[in-house]
Amino acid sequence: MSASTFVDEKRLAQRLAAMARIGATEKGGVNRQALSKEDAAAQRQLVQWGEALGLKPSVDAIGNLFLRLEGTDASAPPVLSGSHLDSQPTGGKFDGVFGVLAAFEAVEAIVASGVKPRASIDVVAWMNEEGSRFAPGMMGSAVFAGARELDAVLAVVDKHGVSVKDALRDVRETLRDVPERALGERVSAYVEAHIEQGPHLENEGLTIGVVTGIQGKRTFAVRVEGEAAHAGTSTRAERKDALLAAIAMVQALADALHDAEDIVKFTIGRFDVKPSAPSVVASSVDFSIDLRHPDSNVLQALGDKIQPICEAHAGVCAVRVTELSKAMSLDFPEPMRALIRDAASGLDLRHRDILSTAGHDARYLHYVCPSAMIFVPSHLGLTHCETEYSSSSDLTAGARLLADVLSKLAA
Ligand code: HGY
Ligand code: MN
Ligand code: MN
């Protein structure tokens, strides 16, 4: 019998519920930001489940967590499957964690099937996919894939000045019994299950999305420097008002990046004013830019407009634009997509090809091994919010499909 028949809906639901209690928010979501104590608790929980199943845990220097089901051929590079445990500050109960627990459930089903995989299978939880506390996101998978330097990432600080290095040390403390493994070990293939984070599969009555690729994304940090001044005594002529300059930049960017077809995704999610006091002219503003587009040439051209537009609207203030990350659109290899389509057909799961407009760790694994993604429907497409929801039957179907795909890849 194929591994998918050993996937257990109740067990998967119980594990998702247990993880949802770690960092639970009052409105039914989670706040489990990267390298927080909640993130550490979630990793600890995963290790405990893994050890009960006989999986061997390990962590690498950037805090990625692995649970290995040993294959019969130790010389064969492992198959990896997983996603992330960290969440947005008002995140949902399924983004990322579903991919980790679906991989875990798939491995448990493979063990239950009695079939010994030739290649080892690693369940992986990538460090800081979301990039909410430490920007940019996908730090763990990017360093694993060699796309970002370890030391540069360890030096990144959060808004309180805490570095990735120091936060990672604290998390490592709670996992001190877990052995370290070398960074960036050879991988034979990677498959990530994830909620769609869009409405299409649900609208079309489909259960599975065979992800064709991931749209490109560029992220920036903008610092506007002015001068603090008294709200009552300083004249407009003498002011260096960082807030008014930042607003002029934002409006000019929104105008320049607007497209009637609504394909360009331009987001300013963070806007920090200092000293943020009602009677003080803003001395500085820090804001984020998240720019995405499926066409890499368009993404390049639009992203290149950002710095000149900010400089042109700085007025008497100074401005510094830093590009934090740049990842062009990618297409997953057709043989991997065909493998998922065939396995979905074999399980009579209604499916179609779909582009991912959200970013995922698979974006980096794609450059180190044949990679692919499996989507399951998101109710109303709601995500990065506390009302995020996917049905147990859809989540289980995704895990069943993943079990058969991993079995084939590790055979
Ligand atoms: O931003 C993203 O696309 C991902 O959900 N972190
Ligand atoms: Mn995610
Ligand atoms: Mn996310």
**Which atom of ligand 1 is nearest the CA belonging to 130?**
6
* CATH label of the domain that carries residue 190: 3.40.630.10
Which ligand places an atom closest to the C-alpha of 139?
A: 1
Number of domains composing the chain? 2
**Which atom of ligand 1 is nearest the CA belonging to 129?**
6
Pocket lining: 137 vs ligand 1, CB cutoff 6 Å: yes
The closest residue, in CA terms, to atom 4 on ligand 1 is 359
> Ligand 1 center to residue 129 CA distance, Å?
7
Same domain, 154 and 7: yes
H, E, C per residue of the chain: CCHHHHCCHHHHHHHHHHHHCCCECCCCCECCCCCCHHHHHHHHHHHHHHHHHCCEEEECCCCCEEEEECCCCCCCCCEEEEEECCCCCCECCCCCHHHHHHHHHHHHHHHHHCCCCCCCEEEEEECCCCCCCCCCCCHHHHHHCCCCCHHHHHCCECCCCCEHHHHHHHHHHHCCCCCECCCCCCCCEEEEEEECCCCHHHHCCCCEEEEEEECEEEEEEEEEECCCEECCCCCHHHCCCHHHHHHHHHHHHHHHHCCCCCCCEEECCCEEEECCCCCEECCEEEEEEEEEECCHHHHHHHHCCHHHHHHHCCCCCEEEEEEEEEECCEECCHHHHHHHHHHHHHCCCCEEEEEECCCCCHHHHCCCCCEEEEEECCHHHCCCCCCCCCCHHHHHHHHHHHHHHHHHHHC
Same domain, 232 and 85: no
> Ligand 3 center to residue 384 CA distance, Å?
6
Pocket lining: 139 vs ligand 1, CB cutoff 6 Å: no
pTM: 0.95
> Ligand 3 center to residue 371 CA distance, Å?
19
Same domain, 127 and 273: no
Segments forming the whole domain that contains residue 318: 217-327
Per-position pLDDT tens, the chain of length 411: 899 999 999 999 999 999 999 999 999 999 999 999 999 999 999 999 999 999 999 999 999 999 999 999 999 999 999 999 999 999 999 999 999 999 999 999 999 999 999 999 999 999 999 999 999 999 999 999 999 999 999 999 999 999 999 999 999 999 999 999 999 889 999 999 999 999 999 999 999 999 999 999 999 999 999 999 999 999 999 999 999 999 999 999 999 999 999 999 999 999 999 999 999 999 999 999 999 999 999 999 999 999 999 999 999 999 999 999 999 999 999 999 999 999 999 999 999 999 999 999 999 999 999 999 999 999 999 999 999 999 999 999 999 999 999 999 999
Pocket lining: 359 vs ligand 1, CB cutoff 6 Å: yes
The closest residue, in CA terms, to atom 6 on ligand 1 is 130
Domain end marker among 270, 299, 327: 327
